[in-house]
Amino acid sequence: MKTFYRVSNVDTEQGLWYDTKGEFTGLIHTSFDFCTNNKLEMPFDEEIVGFLSAVEELDQLWEWFTKEDIMSLQEHDYFIHEYQVNKHKFYERFNHEVIEQKSSILTKRIILL
C-alpha cells in the first residue's frame, strides 16, 4: 500500500471539482472561488471515473492549494485527507496521480492550525 493525500469534504469525501459519483460540481469555481486555482478546469473524462485526484507527497499538495486556501476550506469542512492506496495511476491529461476510489482507505484527517 502507498500513502496519498487529497483535499476533500470531511463527511462525503467529495472533492472540489467532482462529487464521489464522478459528477461535476465545480465547487471550486463557485462556492470556493477564493482558492488560488479556482480557474483550473478539469473536464470530465470517462477514463478516470471511479478515481480521485491525489498527490503522493504532502508537499505536492501546495502546487494545487495554498496553505491559506486549506485554512479557509477547513471552515467549510474540507480538509487534507490521507489515504492508504492499493491501486493508482498517473493521469497524463491533467498531469497528476489518481487513486481508485473504492479500494482507497481514508486513514487520517490533517488539520492545519
The SS3 assignment for 47 reads helix
CA nearest 5: which of 96, 113, 77? 96
Phi-psi region at 26: left, alpha or beta (left = phi > 0; alpha = psi -120 to 50): left
What values do phi and psi take at 9, rounded to 5?
-70, 140
Specify the pLDDT at position 94. Answer: 86
**Residues 104, 53 contacting (CB under 8 angstroms):** no
Domains contained in the chain, number: 1
Which domain, by its residues, includes 12? 2-110
Dist. CA 14–CA 21, nearest whole Å: 9
* Average pLDDT per block of 10 residues along the chain, 113 residues long: 97 94 93 96 90 96 96 98 97 93 97 96
Q: What pTM, to 2 d.p., does this model score?
A: 0.94
